[in-house]
Amino acid sequence: MPSAARSLEPAFNRPIVGLSGAGPKVAEKLAARGLLTLQDLWLQLPLRYEDRTSLTPIARLQPGVAAQVEGTIEAVERGFRYRPVLRVAIGDDSYGTLVLRFFHFRAAQVGQFAIGQRIRVYGTPRPGQQGLEIVHPSYKLIGIEGESPLGDTLEPVYPQIEGVGPATMRKLIAQALDRLPDQVALELLPEHLLRELRLPTLREALITMHRPARDADVAALSAGTHPAQRRLALEELLAHHLSLRRQRIALQQHGAHALAGKGVLVNKLLKALPFKLTGAQQKVLAQIRSDLAQPRPMLRLVQGDVGSGKTVVAALAAMLAVEKGKQVALAAPTELLAEQHLANLRGWLEPLGVRVAWLAGKVTGKARTKVLEEVANGHAQVVVGTHALMQESVAFHDLALAIVDEQHRFGVHQRLALRDKGSQDRDGASRVPHQLVMTATPIPRTLAMASYADLDVSAIDELPPGRTPVQTIALNAERRPELIERIRAACAEGRQVYWVCTLIEEAEDDPKAAPAPRGGPAMRIEAQAAQTTFEQLTEVLPHARVALVHGRMKPAEKQAVMRAFKQGESDLLVATTVIEVGVDVPNASLMVVENAERLGLAQLHQLRGRVGRGAAASSCVLLYQAPLSQMARERLDTMRQTNDGFVIAEKDLELRGPGELLGTRQTGLAAFRVADLARDAGLLPQVHDLAETLLATSPALAERITERWIGGAARYASA
Ligand code: ADP
Ligand code: MG
């Protein structure tokens, strides 16, 4: 007998088309937003609620407090004051008067407002010229009193979808909810778990979210802490976790080259290095080595604070592949960072006879053809580049190890693209490359669990010896002249200085890599700010050699400026946040960050990591514009108090309220519908355990949970 659940499955996937009000045009608009089935509508949750369950006497309206009133139209006035305006005055038994003001209106609308007509209005009153007024209220003309009863649930307000009016949206979702299967058919989570966590069933949760009772805890709903929301968040986080775990399981079904050589090249490189590996580097290298020796793909994330020495560990891992005659790809998110890896790897590996190739978007024409050829025929043993490496046109001869640096800056799909470049099954076996992912953005353990459920995590939790912690101070921008004096002195002593102009985040080469709003104009403004600062500093510091680098310069120019700075040919480098990631100039020991109050903790920490890389004691000056918001003050305090990336990450999580979500960029996770990692972090350990249990005991159920929440996206990711 087919199970009840299976026979009901189509109900979830029944298309929206067919609901009344969902013509082909509307369906198309909804589809563009990923809303295809009834289930998608159930999971389309309100942004907020309007309480239209009661009427407020007009005389008791308060400015700024949304309310519903009912009254009679007392006066209508059409006029022009700068622009056309329609004003409708209404009154009720409380002897209050309220003005409704419209700037956009049609003639037909004007005709509706007849004196004496009853009208029900919802909106937020504000003080106007004659008492309170509501601009563009939602309203409904009604007949005799009592004809139009009030609802007994709060009115949901859904996210706006272009081309689908709010009323249509409400109507469609209401119909979808009417078709909600019964509890048993709908529920996927085990009953005992819900009881244990005191969470409602899915059916109860959805009904509460879409149609909260008049006395629902609206404060909890808007804070996102209502049990109905926690219930949905739990299932959604579980779905994401399961999807990542399943990707891992699927990937590990493939074979990989076991890279278990003697380590001849590793030993040669170790001997040639001017330093000894730290204990932490040795520990992580050993973990990688034992992963690589297996005939199934490694999936490992190496977290290590800025300056902890991840690059050399990556280079050593690469040697294990090269020794076995295989290829290695190393991808970095920006050209600048990739170039630096190139320089490091060439410096370390070419003396050992290892051929290192370069492939970035800017490599074009004949040079590109040549590199692609060398990558395809195996001449190139280590290929360093940007996301250009991940493009379809790039075919490897025998890629055994894919290394991705600063992976939080890549989309998850980009990282996955490299794994598909494994060797074709020459001996009939399908092989995928081992994956090594490196990040300097420490994320709290709980979040790591969520975002990297498909990876094993190791940490380089020790800095190379001889580094002194960076001394950080926060300075009001008014004290800039003093600061400039200090810089003058520092340059005279032969110290090198970064001056970072930060307006908005830097754009990357590939817009697809960064879902956060960013891009051209921001980069231009930042570049302009840097240009201006560069000119000012050049003028006031005539004895210092001042240089400029920003994201709008040509890569070759940028590289030349960076090289000159690294070689000590300039003293003061005015830069935009292009230097945020990976730039390594050990002699630079002073950094100034402008507008530090606008930056998040993670970015400040990344920037500061550019100094304190050499033996000299370093300092970082965070210039801010007063007055500081509470949040900005706490961020700057945190920066002054600690250099520990993990402590900073925890503080970051604590400081980000529901309004300041952790973006995709930081976590590598797709956007959630309900869950909020900062808010719901407490659920993650539960999610983790539950996922393991489900995968072990009920894989079919696990699949349905993933399908429900992620559906097409999951299919795409594992395709
Ligand atoms: P990150 O982890 O931030 O990518 P890097 O790999 O750029 O750090 O290393 C930072 C600097 O430290 C580089 O100049 C690198 O050569 C140097 N370094 C790496 N490991 C050691 C070590 N064990 N001892 C001394 N210096 C090291
Ligand atoms: Mg690095």
Q: What is the pLDDT of residue 156?
A: 92
H-helix or E-strand spanning residue 196: helix 191-197
Q: What confidence tier does 535 reach under pLDDT thresholds 50, 70, 90?
A: very high
> For 303, what's the count of Cα atoms within 13 Å in the CB-facing half-sphere?
19
Confidence of residue 665 (pLDDT cuts 50, 70, 90): very low
Nearest ligand to residue 338 Cα: 2
- Which of 277-286, 390-399, 408-417, 542-551 has the least mean pLDDT? 408-417
Helices (H), 360-512: 365-377, 412-419, 445-451, 480-492
Please report which ligand is nearest the Cα atom of 461.
Answer: 1
Domain ranges of the chain: 3-49+157-223, 54-150, 264-460, 471-642
pLDDT at 401 over 50: yes
Q: What is the Å distance from ligand 1's center to 280 Cα?
A: 12
Of 354-358, 508-512, 648-652, least confident by mean pLDDT is 508-512
| CATH number 3.40.50.300 given to 471-642 | yes
Whole-model pTM: value is 0.67
Asked whether this chain's domains 264-460 and 471-642 adopt the same fold, the reply is: yes
Specify the pLDDT at position 355: 97
Backbone angles phi, psi at 592, to 5 degrees: -115, 130
Res 719 pLDDT > 50: no
Give me the amino acid identity at 695.
L
pLDDT tier at 715, thresholds 50, 70, 90: very low
714 pLDDT above the threshold of 50: no
Q: Is the CB of 464 under 6 A from ligand 1?
A: yes
Cα of 582 from ligand 1 centre, angstroms: 10
Is the CB of residue 440 below 6 angstroms from any atom belonging to ligand 1? Answer: yes
How remote is the CA of residue 491 from the centroid of ligand 1, in Å?
Answer: 25
CB proximity list for 232: less than 8 A, separation 6 or greater: 43, 45, 202, 205, 206, 209, 673, 674, 675
DSSP state of 579: G
Task: Give me the pLDDT at residue 508, please.
Answer: 37
pLDDT at 157 over 50: yes
Which of 301, 308, 313 maximizes ligand 1 atoms within 8 Å of its Cβ, making it the mutation to test the pocket? 308
Q: Please tell me the distance between residue 639's alpha carbon and the centre of ligand 1 in angstroms.
A: 22
Q: Is the pLDDT of residue 190 over 90?
A: no
The whole-angstrom separation of Cα 195 and Cα 180 is 22
Q: Give the C-alpha separation, 170 to 157, whole Å.
A: 8
* Helix (H) or strand (E) run with residue 110 in it: helix 107-112
Closest CA to 273 of 259, 261, 285: 285
Ligand 1 close to Cβ of residue 304 (< 6 A): yes
First CA to last CA across the chain, in angstroms?
31
Q: What is the mean pLDDT of residues 398-413?
A: 76
Which sign does the torsion angle of CA 212, 214, 217, 223 carry?
A: positive
Strand partners, 401: 328, 434
Cα–Cα distance, 334 to 578 (Å, whole number): 8
Picking from 27-41, 274-288, 612-626, 655-669, which range would have the lowest pLDDT averaged per residue? Answer: 655-669
Q: Rounded to 10 degrees, what is the CA torsion of 275, 277, 280, 284?
A: 140
What pLDDT does residue 513 have?
35
| Closest C-alpha to ligand 1, atom 23 | 277
Query: Tokens for 594?
Result: 């402008």
| Neighbouring C-beta atoms of residue 63, cutoff 10 Å | 12
Distances (CA, A) of 580 to 120, 546, 694: 55, 19, 41
Helix 310-323 / helix 279-292 crossing angle, nearest 10 deg: 30
The larger pLDDT score, comparing residue 337 to residue 486, is at: 486
User: Roughly what angle, to the nearest 10 degrees, separates helices 264-272 and 310-323?
Assistant: 140
Q: Are 562 and 554 in contact (CB under 8 A)?
A: no
pLDDT reported for residue 111: 86
Ligand lying nearest the CA atom of residue 463: 1
Interatomic CA distance for residues 712 and 719, integer angstroms = 10
Quote the ligand 1 centre to 62 CA distance (angstroms): 62
Q: Which helix (H) or strand (E) holds 337?
A: helix 335-349
Which ligand sits closest to the CA of 332? 2
Which pLDDT tens digit goes with each residue over 414-473? 556 666 676 555 555 678 899 998 987 666 665 666 666 778 888 898 888 878 889 999
Q: Mapped to the 3 state alphabet, what secondary structure does 249-278 carry? A: HHHHCCECCCCCCCCHHHHHHHHHCCCCCC
Q: Write down the architecture of domain 264-460 according to CATH.
A: 3-Layer(aba) Sandwich (3.40)
pLDDT, position 481: 94
Partners of 546 in beta bridges: 572
Cβ of residue 212 lying under 6 Å from some atom of ligand 1: no
Strands in 108-175 per DSSP E? 118-123, 126-128, 131-135, 138-142, 155-157
Percent of the chain with pLDDT over 70: 86
Cis amide linkage into residue 627, ω under 30° from 0:
yes
The DSSP line for 399-417 is EEEEEEESGGGS-HHHHHH
The pLDDT of residue 579 is 73
Please write the tens of the pLDDT for every residue from 595-635. Answer: 999 888 878 888 898 898 877 889 999 999 989 998 899 99
Number of the ligand closest to the Cα of 334: 2
Homologous superfamily of domain range 54-150? Nucleic acid-binding proteins (2.40.50.140)
Q: What pLDDT, on a 0 to 100 scale, did the predictor assign at position 416?
A: 62
Three-state DSSP class for residue 420: coil
Structure tokens at 174: 């209401």
Ligand 1 in contact with 303 (CB < 6 A)? no
Q: Is 344 in the pocket of ligand 1 (CB under 6 A)?
A: no
Average pLDDT of span 181-193 = 87
Tell me, using a 6 A CB cutoff, whether residue 306 lines ligand 1. Answer: yes
Integer angstrom CA distances of residue 669 from 138, 453, 514, 664:
37, 11, 12, 5
pLDDT at 546 > cutoff 50: yes
Query: Which pLDDT score, from 0 to 100, does residue 89 have?
Result: 95
Which residue's CA is the closest to the ligand 1 atom numbered 9? 309
Element (H or E) spanning 692, and its range?
helix 684-697
Using CA atoms, how far residue 448 sits from 403, 439, 442, 645, 717, in Å, is 19, 11, 9, 14, 19
> Given the CA of residue 276, which atom of ligand 1 is nearest to it?
23
- Mean pLDDT, range 472-500, rounded to an integer: 94
Q: Looking at residue 659, what is its pLDDT?
A: 30
Per-residue model confidence (pLDDT) at position 658: 31
Q: Which residue CA neighbors atom 13 of ligand 1 most closely?
A: 309
Contact indicator for 361, 509 with CB cutoff of 8 Å: yes
- Per-residue three-class SS string for 7-40: HHHHHHHCECECECCCCHHHHHHHHHCCCCEHHH
For residue 168, what pLDDT band results from cuts at 50, 70 and 90? Answer: very high
C-alpha of residue 562 to centroid of ligand 2, in Å: 16
Q: Is 441 in the pocket of ligand 1 (CB under 6 A)?
A: no
Residue 602 · residue 648 · CB < 8 Å: yes
Task: Quote the pLDDT of residue 208.
Answer: 94
Computed over every residue of the chain, the mean pLDDT equals: 84
Minimum CA distance residue for ligand 1 atom 17: 309
CB of 333 shorter than 6 A to ligand 1: no
Examine the pLDDT at 99 and tell me if it is beyond 80.
yes
Is there a contact between 298 and 288 (Cβ–Cβ < 8 Å)? yes
